[in-house]
Structure 1
Amino acid sequence: MDTQSPWLDDDQQDLWQALLTIVIALPAALDRQLQRTSSISNFEYGVLARLSMADKCTMRLSDLARDCDSTQPRLSKLMDRFEARGWVARRPDPEDGRYTLATLTESARQKLADAAPEHVAQVKRLVFDPLTATQRRHLEPALTRIATTVRQELDR
């Protein structure tokens, strides 16, 4: 850790400002596209997508919250809305009743399938198309290291 100066140097400041734009503006751009085309948020899409990738489209809510970088209360409120829309079914985990399982319904899988083409096109346009293959290869390990550090901080 740099203990010389409490300030970012010019290179760090440039990188930090670019990262802030990505962290703040990218989700806003994805939200705008998803709201316009599918009437769901980027967070809602992410939760539906995570569930759709799980075995039998079912996950423990605690695992889903962790995988979606969400708090359990936020995810629980979303599950209430999803259940009201008929997009998930919740039940106690038969292996350990202290946990709750969420299963994606066919209606939700269809919602995700309908939303995916335009959303994926937007992600490609905003994130992948501006980069060369070499830039993408270098960016992934760097972002993974940052994400790991952030998650470890949150787990403290």
Structure 2
Amino acid sequence: MPVWELWPFLQRSSASGLRSSVRPLAVIVLNSPLPRGTAMKQLWDTAGVRICADGGSNRLYDQFRGQLVPDVIIGDFDSVRPEVIQSFQSSKFGEPLRVIKCSDECNTDLDKCMLYAAYHYNHHPDEYSGGDDEAAPLVAVAGSINYGGRLDHTFSIINSLLTATRGT
């Protein structure tokens, strides 16, 4: 059984101020309650890529009011509010916000985000510092696994995480 330890990835190890972690890190925000306090900000600052899964964009925007802006929003867009996308786009200060609409019904929005994280790591290794170059990126999923009382969504999240852990 895999053991996922979060705390080592919240510690900065680079005096230069570059994002760094023990292993490459991607943060995915789901459409469920997010961590409060400094934990989310520390995760955000440590990540090589920050991804919102569809309605996770609403959660991030509502809780942090533009203080945390994703690099990419991915999903079928059945949940994200258009004004949230617009606000994030205007907050990027010259850096483009990638908005990827994917209506694929065979994969969940979380699956799509994890695939993007792997793609990003393989195509932008310079954005990750420290750690073992041979190590696969770690993915921190921000949000509650108890998806608002929806047992089917909870099982789907668990399935996605276990599938990704097995690499299948």
Q: Which TM-score applies when normalising by structure 2?
A: 0.26
**Larger gyration radius, structure 1 or structure 2:** 1
Bigger helix fraction? 1
